[in-house]
Amino acid sequence: MQRLRKDDDPRNSKTFPDKGSPKEEVFAALKEYKKDDLDWRSGRVWAYTYHDNTMEEIEQVAKHAYMEFLTESGLDPTVFPSLMRFENELVSMSANHVNGGPDVVGNFTSGGTESIMLAVKTARDWARAHRPHITKPNMVLPVTAHAAFHKAGQYMDVETKTTPVDSTTFRALVEPMREAVDENTILIVGSAPSYGHGVIDPMEEIGQVAVEKDILYHVDACMGGFALPYFRRLGEDIPPFGFEVPGVTSLSMDLHKYAYTPKGASIILYKDKDLRRHQIFSFSQWTGYTMINNTIQSTKTGGPIAAAWATVKYLGDDGYLKLAEKALRTRKAVVDGINRIPKLRVLSHPQMTLVGFTSDEVNVFHIIDEMKERGWYVQPQLAYDNSPANIHLSINPSNEKWVDAVLADLAECVEVAAKLPKSDLAETVQQMFASINPDDLTPEMFSNMLNMAGVQGHEVPERMAEINMILDALPPLIRERLLGEFVNDLFVYRGE
Ligand SMILES: *Cc1c(COP(=O)(O)O)cnc(C)c1O
């Protein structure tokens, strides 16, 4: 076989393999590549994965279904009707779970981001059809709404107008949302719950604004869509957040989070087909096949959809209730435990399994590094608006067995971290950049900043506190540019 690229620059020198390799060698290489990945099965990881390690069979069932449909294609529903059947059944079950009536329709997507991007695209195209006077559409959303809305706004050219949240509950303030809606607003957003603090926005009041102003209303239930109805059944005070709320026109709920299915699985729902029509892409002005797509992907594997269907079937209502009970118990124990640790406080009162906690005395980024040294993975969240820098936990049933251990280590880490210095560099950087316009900064300047913080090429230091303190000190627009440059440099081949 001809080499695809030949170049002496090591960055571009990875050539296509000349000859095939025995499968054993390929399999061994897969294992070798995996060795530094996060050991999420341990239950010591408090983000990224959703999992219960006492039920190994969930994974077996999902993998079986995934492999069975790995090679089927979701491009054309008429030739693989199995996939359409899985999709319609999953959509119907999901709609039912969030009080969707008989008119509610939806689709299976690759994740929360795709669901949200489709909701924004649908709103934009609905407005083009029904509000033709709007030439510069915008959406109104609380500052706690997921970054995916801003991504959708950037991709789809819909402006985002963010509004403040209460500084103790971190719930959306409705009056500023009402005031932010103008004649160009096409969509308003609420989260059930928000990722950062795990609290549910005043969904009904936001719905009133939507009805009053006659605009579309998207509920981001990516996290809560599957779990919250169980929490309610378990006696938690969970306010209405689904299609029973007047004004709701679309809702996203991720299967690959608290429905415990493999990644690449989410559901987008619409109040009816009239609205969903604006999501569909149908095109025949070219020389190939007529392309009709519900979602962003076209040719796609049937794996995630079959695996999601199989997982839901296998677990069933009783299985999900048990998992919810375990996750809820774990969250309660963790929140109570954190609030008992001197110098720590949980932000607001998390209503689901997502927790943000902070310290007014100790730098949280040192705490995160200390936790990492003790084998725990927890997620940093930088300060923004009235939310201080904090530590995020997405709690899973598999974390339950570690509750006492994690709280004991956390208490110890707080004391160790309290003795560690603040970053002088962070303060210098803060002063330097306070008045700089990010557009005046060149990629070279960003690369120098990264080097100063200890990032060499694509190697990040073991201890991330200094980098996190610098990021936290920087104006958000500069943070974004810096991280963009970092990732732009990360995805470059640099040799073995
Ligand atoms: C995870 C999440 C998303 C984005 O979903 P992905 O599946 O990561 O693309 C959106 N909203 C909320 C509230 C989330 O937690």
Q: What type of residue sits at position 410? A: L
CA torsion through residues 93, 297, 147, 258, sign: positive
Residue 23 tokens read as: 């499968």
Residue nearest to atom 4 of ligand 1 (CA): 112
Q: Is the N-terminal amide bond of 193 cis, ω within 30° of 0?
A: yes
**Atom nearest to 221 CA in ligand 1:** 13
Span from the CA of 352 to the centroid of ligand 1 (angstroms): 15
Residue 320 tokens read as: 């999900």
- Three-state secondary structure call for residue 380: strand
Ligand 1 pocket test: which of 120, 195, 260, 381 has the largest number of ligand atoms within 8 Å of its C-beta? Answer: 195
Element (H, E) at 336: helix 303-340
- What pLDDT score does 9 carry? 55
Nearest to 69 by CA among 302, 377, 332: 302
* Ligand 1 proximal residues by C-beta, below 6 Å: 111-113, 116, 146, 148, 191, 195, 220, 222-223, 254, 266
Q: Report angle CA 117, 123, 124 to the nearest 5 degrees.
A: 90
Ligand 1 pocket test: which of 115, 120, 146 has the largest number of ligand atoms within 8 Å of its C-beta? Answer: 146
Contact 258, 229 (CB under 8 A): no
Q: Which residues contact 74 (CB under 8 A, 6 or more apart)?
A: 80, 83, 297, 299, 300, 301, 302, 305
- Three-state secondary structure call for residue 422: coil
Span from the CA of 58 to the centroid of ligand 1 (angstroms): 22
**Atom nearest to 224 CA in ligand 1:** 13
CA distance 329 to 323: 10
**Atom nearest to 111 CA in ligand 1:** 7
Contact 381, 389 (CB under 8 A): yes
- What pLDDT score does 162 carry? 98
Helix then strand count (H, E) for the chain reads 16, 13
- What pLDDT score does 216 carry? 98
CA torsion through residues 321, 326, 331, 333, sign: positive
Nearest to 493 by CA among 5, 2, 3: 5
Contact 409, 357 (CB under 8 A): no
Nearest to 250 by CA among 88, 87, 107, 86: 107
- What pLDDT score does 56 carry? 78
- Start-to-end CA distance of the chain, whole Å, equals 22
- What pLDDT score does 178 carry? 98
Element (H, E) at 484: helix 476-490
Span from the CA of 251 to the centroid of ligand 1 (angstroms): 12
CA distance 453 to 124: 41
- What pLDDT score does 229 carry? 98
pTM exceeds 0.85, yes or no: yes
CA distance 81 to 74: 9
Residue nearest to atom 10 of ligand 1 (CA): 112
CA distance 382 to 466: 13
Q: What is the pLDDT along the chain (496 residues), one digit of tens a residue?
A: 444 444 555 555 678 899 999 999 999 999 999 998 888 888 888 888 888 876 779 999 999 999 999 998 888 888 999 999 999 999 999 999 999 999 999 999 999 999 999 999 999 999 999 999 999 999 999 999 999 999 999 999 999 999 999 999 999 999 999 999 999 999 999 999 999 999 999 999 999 999 999 999 999 999 999 999 999 999 999 999 999 999 999 999 999 999 999 999 999 999 999 999 999 999 999 999 999 999 999 999 999 999 999 999 999 999 999 999 999 999 999 999 999 999 999 999 999 999 999 999 999 999 999 999 999 999 999 999 999 999 999 999 999 999 999 999 999 999 999 999 888 888 888 888 877 887 888 888 888 877 877 777 667 788 889 889 988 998 898 889 888 888 888 888 887 6
